[in-house]
Structures are given as C-alpha cells and as structure tokens.
Structure 1
Amino acid sequence: MQNPRWLRRAGDPRLEYGADYNPEQWPREVWDDDVRAMREAGVTIVSLGIFSWAKLETAPGRYDFGWLDEAIEKLHANGIAVDLATATASPPPWLTTAYPQVLPVDAKGNTIWPGGRQQWRPTSPIFREHALRLVRAMATRYGNHPAVVAWHVSNELGCHNVYDYSDDAAAAFRTWLRARYTTIDALNESWGTAFWSQWYTGFEQILPPRQAATHPNPTQQLDFKRFSSDALKDYLVAEKAVLREITPDIPVTTNFMVMGETKGMDYADWAAEVDFVSNDHYRLPGGQTLDELSFSANLTGNLAGGRPWFLMEHSTSAVNWQPINLAKKPGELARDSLTHVAHGADAVCFFQWRQSRAGAEKYHSAMVPHAGTDSSLFREVASLGSTLRSLSHVAGVPRTPAKAAILFDWTSWWAVEQDSHPTAALRYRQEALDWYTAFLDLGVRADVLPVAADFSAYDVVVAPVLHVVPSGLADRLTSYASSGGHLITTYFSGIVDENDHAWLGGYPGALRDLLGIRIEEFGPLLDGDTAELDNGLTGTLWTDRIDVVSPDTAVLATYKTGDQAGRAAITRRTVGAGSAAYVSTRLGPDGLGQVLGDLLSRAGVTSELPSPLRGVVELAVRGDTRFVINRTSEPVDIAALGGPDRTLTARGVAVFRA
C-alpha cells in the first residue's frame, strides 16, 4: 500500500517534517503556542498519542477521548497531519494492578515491575485482549478523520521487553516449536539434545533458556531469539489486523530501531508486515558515529526495498540515556537529518516536539527546548524545515543502487555472539560497520542489504562474519561468484547451518570449497595480542590456520608473527569470471581500507568521487540528486563535483541535481 494521504497528499510530493507530539503533558493554553510554532518551523506531520493509554482509557472500557479530539482538530485546522499511535506501548497502572500476570519475567525469574515503560509480555493473552480493545476503539473513532494519514502501532516494539521468560512465553514457545519442527524427534535432532542428556520426550518439557547451572543449549538459545522476534511480530500483525478491518485505506507502520547494538528484532523479517518502513535512530559517541548513522540509514532504506521510508525519531541535540550526553555541534542537526534523506527517508521527525518538564526524558532534547522558541536550537529546527521544503523533488525517488554491497544477517548476529565460542570478544555489527567505514574512506558507495535480498547485480559483495550459512545460501553465494561476482568474506563465516550445527570436513564449512581453503582449528587472539601481516597490517581478535587447497586460490597476504606465522592470512580464489576472497583476522577500518582497495581494483570497481574528496565526503544518490556529506569538522572544497557550491561547510551537506 502507498497511501496518498502520506506520500502524495493533495498530489503534492514533499518531504514530511515533524516529531512525536505529547499534548497530554501540557495545559491546553500551551497547545495554541505549539501549533503556531509548528507552522513557523515548517512541521507537516506529528506522531500523536504514543504513551497515552492511561489518559485515554481510565478504566476497562471507559474512554476519555475529549482531549485527543481537541488536539487532532487543532492540528488539522493548521494543516498538520497526524500519524496516530494505537497508544498501546505501555499499559496503564490499573491494568498491571488488576492483572500482574501481564508483567514480563527475566531469565532469573524476576518480575519486571511497572514504573518505567513497556512492562508487558508480548505473549500475554490478557494484555492482548485489553490492547486490541483499545486499538479497535481508536480505529473506530478516528479512522475517518482527514488528519489521520497513518497508524503507528505501539512504539519501538521490543525495546525493553523482547526477551520474556514467563509461563506465557514458555507456552507460546512450545507452540512455536511445534509449528517449526512438527515432531519432538525433529526438535531433538535440530537441537542436538543427545549432548548432556537433554533428550526430550515431549514438547511440554521444554522451557525458554532460563538461567541454568551452565551454558544452555545453543540451538535452544538461537530458536528462542527467533521466537522472541516472531512473538513481537505476531503482536504487530494482531494490531494491524484490527486496523485493516476498520480502516483499510490508512497505512500501518511501527518504528523499527535500526541502530547500534539493538539486535533482538529481525527487521528483515518484519518489513513485509508494514505498509511503509519507519525507523528510530540515535547516534552513539565514538569515532565511527557518523558512519554508523549512514550505515543504519542505508540498511533501513534497503529493508524498505528501495521504497520511501519514514525517519520516525532522532534527536535535535543531546539525549538523556547515555552516560554522558553531549549537545550536538553546529550543523550536526541538519547533517544527521539529511543523511537519512540521502539514504531514502521521505520524512524527518524527532523525539519530541516540546521538551518535557518532568519524567525520565526531561533532559532529552526536542524541537522546542526548555529555552523555548527564542533559542539557537529552534532556529536550527526552522532552518531545517526550510531546507526540506526545498528538497520536495526527491520525495518518492529511491536511492540509486551502488556497485558494491555488504550483506547483513540477523541470525548470524544472534548466533555468533552466543556463549561457548572461540572468543567472547567478537562483535558482529562492529565488523560490518568497519567494512562500511572502509568503503566510505575509499569514496566508494556500498549498499547494506539484508542477506535474503537479491545481490546478484552487484559487482562486489562483502559478507562479514556470515556465520550461519544454510545450504541454500551457500549455493546463492557460489552462483554469484561463478556468474562473475566478486565475493569477500571473513573469519568465522560459513561455520554452521541454520540449526547452529557445525559443517563437517573443516572450516569455513559451507564456504570451504568456494574459497579454496581449509582450516582445522581457529586461532583466536587474547586481549592485547596481535598478529603482523607481511603487507604491513596488524590483525587483532582472530587468526586462522589456513591451508590453501585449490590451485585457483592466491595468497594475498601471510602472517609474519604469532602462531600462524608463514600461513595465509588473506586469500582470493578465481571462480570463473568472478572471485571469492577471505580475510582471516580483524583489521579495523584502516587496515580493511588497504585490503578492500586492492580487491575493488581487481574487480574493476572505482570511486565516483574525485581523488581529493575520497574519504573526506560521503556521496549518496537519489535519482538525479546527489547528496555530498562532509565527514569532517572542517570546510571542504567541492568545486570539482561541478555543483553550485564551491565550499562545503564543516559538518555540512550539499545537495544538487546532476
């Protein structure tokens, strides 16, 4: 569904602009000031009612919609559309008091009590009964209101309750396992329960992987992660079904959290369940903070399948939940927002409109800060609104695909960071981000794709730490290389199948023949240990005892020091017109830049940027529009790009049509 009330209202394409709006936190006399300031800032849409269940339903079936009616009418009268939340994100105190069995339970058996937010079990029948009653009431009351252009299911599903170990979860987990395996014998085979006398004789014996005396069964852990993502998705689908029944013409979304180490929800699997993809993103401190923003926006755009997506939340300045919360520097508010637009966002929204006076997020920045509209921050907000109006021509235009791609796999992320592995220090997303930074440093665009996507058209595909490789995926990768594509993969890839069973015959298992190498034992490194390569690079975290077993496999670098001294460290096998390369150690962004530059050159992939700008700016392309993003805190001469601007300001973004 692509509803004209969001993307094409009144036949006038535009980039939407706005925020979460929480009028229930403020007296009514503030509301008129709000809408006046919204118009001044260029706000076109707000997300409304997200955490308002307690104010909307004061007792079971007793509703107070008056304040919400008034807020919607006031917004509509001022030309501001509403992305209306179903208000189910956090249950009201009356519900958890009457039914404490809706509260989640952690792995140690502790109840997660009220007082924060999202204190509910995704599998609780009682919670679902009450929540869906509210959804039905909301849809019935507001489904025909012209201001409502989208439904916002719950909020950040799984942010605080993705893993619930309660009795409700145990019962739902058994149902999920019966559907997946059909018979208990099939489950026993998949879980390898002959080990440690874990053999089950009935599904009723199975529990979630609650705290155990020692490491729980790894496939049980992996399946519980799959189940937990599916349980939240099932809840999303349940709300969507009610909304679709009553308001079939209003699109439905929920805000993903493609950012940082948020990994409990398989958004590649969820994306088909929403009418348009929405995402919340907050930058984390560190040297790759801007690259991580770009990586996440890039992946979100590809989860959306190239269709326009909605940046539902990010921050105007400081957040409140990091150990130290720094305000954004001049230019960062616009740069961050436009980076999302560069990667396909057709809406830019913040948490939140007006900074709260009370509550846990009172020090979280907003479009209107505590200082009010007479502030430099609000002036930046209004300036961004003007900029977005000038970019209406990119609305609905997809990102232009790159020639290279990085594959991203939630199942490998889950599996590779479980216990009882060669090292506990491996971080899946960090390795993927390091490769993305290497592409940016070389000035080469790369798309971040979910692993199930079609990658056959890309010249180069990087699959970092692709740990879980079912036979079908191994066949796809082999076919890709055999057909002329150039595959690059890394340590701890191809090791297990979908059941977390090791592929036998030597590592890297399912990819061994494609790569033309064989590894008998891993060589993880202790903290502080390194391995020097003969190309001048230094490896950390991991090494492999590689034997080259194919005459078509060339050694591009060897180890000079450490237990693997004299053995291959980086290899590349010619496969028909394509190739398959292997990097056996962690090199970090700088080291990967050298390796990647060589492999891209061999594949014939070059940068679209002039040499002096490579690594200094990021280039993103939507149709005939180019976004040039300054990755530095210094002005940059961009005259060589031929656009209208000769100088790109520190932390600035230049946008021009080719």
Structure 2
Amino acid sequence: MFREVAQLGAELDRLGGAALGARTPSRVALLFDWDSWWALETSDGPSRLVRYQQVVLAYYRALWEAGVDVDVVPVTADLTHYDVVVAPALHMLKGDLPQRLEEVARRGGSVVATYLSGRVDEDDNAFLMDVPGPLGPLMGVRIDEWDARGPEFTNPVLLQAGTETLEVASQLLFELVIPQGAEVVGTYRADFYAGTPAVTRNAFGEGHGWYVAAGLDQEGVGWVVRQVLAGHGLSGRHPEHPGLETAVRVAPDGTRLLFLLNHGEEPVEVPAHSGGVDLLTGERVEQGRPVVLEPCGVRVLREDG
C-alpha cells in the first residue's frame, strides 16, 4: 500500500499544476434524482425488486464503457449544453423538467428514458394520464400494462438498427408499450407479449426520445447507449477497450489534457488520436503511433494545439 501511495504522490508531483482549474466539457448528462429513488423504492409496485441505484449504475457503466465524458447532474440542472440526456427510472417528474427534456430533443438532442418513468408528480401523486405521464409526447409511447416477474424469469429482447441485430436478456420488469408515433427498435421474444415493443425511438423536433421499457441486461443497455451516442458522433476514442478510461480536461488557457487509465489486468496498446507530450514521463507521442499502457497504467497527454 505504501508503495502505491508513494507512486501516486510522485505522479502528482510530476503533473504539477497543469490540471489546476481544468474542466471536462461534457456533452452527455446522466440525471440522478434522490426523490425518484425514495419514491420508487417505497412504492408498493409494480416491483419491489427494482433498485433505482442499480438501474442508474447500469446506464452510467454503459456510458463509461463507451468512453464518453459524462456529467452526473440533478434534475434541476441546466440542460441547454447537452446533446444527450439519459434519465433512467425517472419515477417522479418535478416542476418544468418534462418541458426542459422536450427542449433538449427539440433542438436536436436525444433523451433516453426507461421503464418506471413518469409515474408520479413532485407530491408523489399519480398523473391523471397514461404512463409515462408528461413524458408521453416526447417518448411517443403509451404504457398499456406491465409484467413484473421474479429474477428467475428472463424474456429475450431482439434489438435492431439497420441490418445490425442483437438478442439480449431482460428481467424483473417488462412494460407493454403502445407506440404513439414512435418506431420500434427492440421487441420482446417470449410470453404473451412476444413481438411487442421493448425499445422505441421517437422523432421529436430535430431530435429523438428513446424509451427502454424492459430491464435489459448490461449488454442490452450498452447497445442502446451506443446507438444514441453514435447519432451524435459521440463514440469514445477507444470503445473497443471498455476497460480503458479516457477523459479530456480543458485548462483555463485552452490546453487540452487527455487522461488515459487502464483499469484492466492486461497491457493495452492503442493508436494516439493526436500528438502531444506525456506529462508524467516527458515522452513525445506522435499522432497515429501506438500508446502502451501497462495494467493500472496512466498517461496524461498534453495534446498539441
């Protein structure tokens, strides 16, 4: 332990003040709502097995593995600077949030919502309209019914984008969707609702509202997230290496710092997207040349302007 602490201290000393005041200019936001967490998990249904944190973490992990910079923000945050807003299990809708989410899509962005969204208002009273409540126009769907099952039950979901198809698993909660203008991206494969929509995309303004009606496994969540990001040219620098974390921070003087962190147990070699200097080693990195990171290795590249 002392060795690792000493190594970290040495790296911070070499980095110096280069990252002081630097910020990450993210175009992706993940909404986290404490009140939805509380209201959902104290609700009597439709499933006491769904945990808000686990749902949010699944979508955060998908964004992290895609290699994009993401801000985790409250539902009161200013959303005007984001191209993609992901709002998992947004059980409670407060204030003007539905309108602000619509504005994200209207100007060309994408909003992703999931099952158990738009069920109650800020006083935990059910909306006098079909689920997903005020999110209905943005998502282009109406939830007719839902099927809550134990963890031993799995319903396959077939996802499709163009000629690309992928079958994944879903568990715990399965909403029955009636499209109200939305196109179907994924369908259930089993039980009485086989062939009905499980994932939809709705054109709204210049953008889209995506609705995930089932508890997709991590592979399925990752697929949906990558489809949304690709529509905005937001795929990460090295999505083929999900264990390689990348983050860009911009210093007050405009200097761009690229952080590369290998969380895996094997070395990783990737091509440099841009030239620069590794602030930890002083090594010059040329664009297109391979960059090697040992297990738990770190690089901090000051990119060429």
Question: Using the alignment, how far apart are the partners of 1:597 and 1:395 within structure 2?
Answer: 29
CA 1:397–1:529 in 2, change beyond 3 Å: closer, same or farther? same
SS of match in other structure, 2:245: strand
Equivalent residues of 1:471, 1:510 under 8 A apart: no
Matching of residue 557 in structure 1 with residue 202 in structure 2: no
Which residue matches 1:627? Answer: 259
Question: Using the alignment, how far apart are the partners of 2:121 and 2:206 within structure 1?
Answer: 28
Which residue matches 1:578? Answer: 207
Equivalent residues of 1:456, 1:485 under 8 A apart: no
Deviation string, structure 1 residues 570-607 (Cα, Å, up to 9, x no partner): 11110110111100111132211112222222x22332
Deviation string, structure 1 residues 456-498 (Cα, Å, up to 9, x no partner): 2111111000111024111111122112221011000111001
SS of match in other structure, 1:414: helix
Matches within 5 A, 1:508-547: 508-535=132-159, 536-547=167-178
Question: Using the alignment, how far apart are the partners of 2:271 and 2:226 within structure 1?
Answer: 25
Deviation string, structure 1 residues 84-121 (Cα, Å, up to 9, x no partner): xxxxxxxxxxxxxxxxxxxxxxxxxxxxxxxxxxxxxx
Which residue matches 2:292? Answer: 647
Between Structure 1 and Structure 2, which shows a larger proportion of helix residues? Answer: 1
Equivalent residues of 2:40, 2:52 under 8 A apart: yes
Matches within 5 A, 1:298-313: none
SS of match in other structure, 2:158: coil
Which residue matches 2:164? Answer: none
Between Structure 1 and Structure 2, which shows a larger proportion of strand residues? Answer: 2
Structure 2 counterpart of 1:500, from 116, 124, 140: 124
Structure 2 counterpart of 1:456, from 60, 80, 91: 80
Matching of residue 604 in structure 1 with residue 232 in structure 2: yes
Equivalent residues of 2:36, 2:91 under 8 A apart: yes
Q: CA deviation at 1:639?
A: 4.4
Question: Using the alignment, how far apart are the partners of 2:133 and 2:147 within structure 1?
Answer: 16
CA 1:394–1:409 in 2, change beyond 3 Å: closer, same or farther? farther
Matching of residue 638 in structure 1 with residue 266 in structure 2: no
CA 1:489–1:453 in 2, change beyond 3 Å: closer, same or farther? same
Question: Using the alignment, how far apart are the partners of 1:381 and 1:470 within structure 2?
Answer: 44
Question: Using the alignment, how far apart are the partners of 1:465 and 1:455 within structure 2?
Answer: 18
SS of match in other structure, 1:393: coil
Which residue matches 1:418? Answer: 42
Q: CA deviation at 1:395?
A: 4.5
Question: Once superposed, what is the RMSD of the aligned Cα atoms?
Answer: 1.8
Question: Using the alignment, how far apart are the partners of 1:521 and 1:471 within structure 2?
Answer: 26
Matches within 5 A, 1:338-417: 377-417=1-41
Q: CA deviation at 1:414?
A: 1.2
Deviation string, structure 1 residues 254-301 (Cα, Å, up to 9, x no partner): xxxxxxxxxxxxxxxxxxxxxxxxxxxxxxxxxxxxxxxxxxxxxxxx
Which residue matches 2:280? Answer: none
Q: CA deviation at 1:405?
A: 1.6
Question: Using the alignment, how far apart are the partners of 2:98 and 2:52 within structure 1?
Answer: 19
Structure 2 counterpart of 1:479, from 86, 92, 103: 103
Any stretches of 5+ residues in structure 2 without a counterpart? Answer: 160-166, 251-255, 277-282, 286-290
Matches within 5 A, 1:76-475: 377-475=1-99
Question: Using the alignment, how far apart are the partners of 2:147 and 2:23 within structure 1?
Answer: 41
Question: Using the alignment, how far apart are the partners of 1:610 and 1:507 within structure 2?
Answer: 38
SS of match in other structure, 2:71: strand
Q: Structure 1: which amino acid aligns with 2:243? A: V
Q: CA deviation at 1:389?
A: 1.5
Equivalent residues of 1:514, 1:580 under 8 A apart: yes
Question: Using the alignment, how far apart are the partners of 1:398 and 1:412 within structure 2?
Answer: 32
Question: Using the alignment, how far apart are the partners of 1:582 and 1:611 within structure 2?
Answer: 23
Which residue matches 1:34? Answer: none
Equivalent residues of 1:403, 1:605 under 8 A apart: no
Question: Using the alignment, how far apart are the partners of 1:577 and 1:417 within structure 2?
Answer: 35
Give the share of equivalent positions with the same residue, in percent.
Answer: 39
Matching of residue 591 in structure 1 with residue 220 in structure 2: yes
Which residue matches 2:163? Answer: none
CA 1:611–1:427 in 2, change beyond 3 Å: closer, same or farther? closer
Q: Structure 2: which amino acid aligns with 1:586? A: G
SS of match in other structure, 2:119: coil
Equivalent residues of 2:238, 2:270 under 8 A apart: no
| Segment of structure 1 superposing worse, 490-499 or 623-632 | 623-632
Structure with larger Rg = 1
CA 1:637–1:467 in 2, change beyond 3 Å: closer, same or farther? same
Q: Structure 1: which amino acid aligns with 2:55? A: E
**After the TM superposition, which parts of structure 1 deviate over 6 Å for at least 4 consecutive aligned residues?**
none
Question: Using the alignment, how far apart are the partners of 2:153 and 2:235 within structure 1?
Answer: 34
Question: Using the alignment, how far apart are the partners of 1:608 and 1:588 within structure 2?
Answer: 21
Q: Structure 2: which amino acid aligns with 1:427? A: R
Which residue matches 1:657? Answer: 302
Question: Using the alignment, how far apart are the partners of 2:28 and 2:260 within structure 1?
Answer: 19
What's the TM-score once normalised by structure 1's chain length?
Answer: 0.41
Aligned residues: 278
Which residue matches 2:253? Answer: none
Which residue matches 1:124? Answer: none
Equivalent residues of 2:238, 2:244 under 8 A apart: no
Equivalent residues of 2:65, 2:239 under 8 A apart: no
Of the two structures, which has the highest relative contact order with CA contacts closer than 8 Å and spacing of 6 or more? 2
SS of match in other structure, 1:506: coil
Q: CA deviation at 1:430?
A: 1.3
Q: CA deviation at 1:638?
A: 3.5
Any stretches of 5+ residues in structure 1 without a counterpart? Answer: 1-376
What's the TM-score once normalised by structure 2's chain length?
Answer: 0.85
Question: Using the alignment, how far apart are the partners of 2:302 and 2:244 within structure 1?
Answer: 17
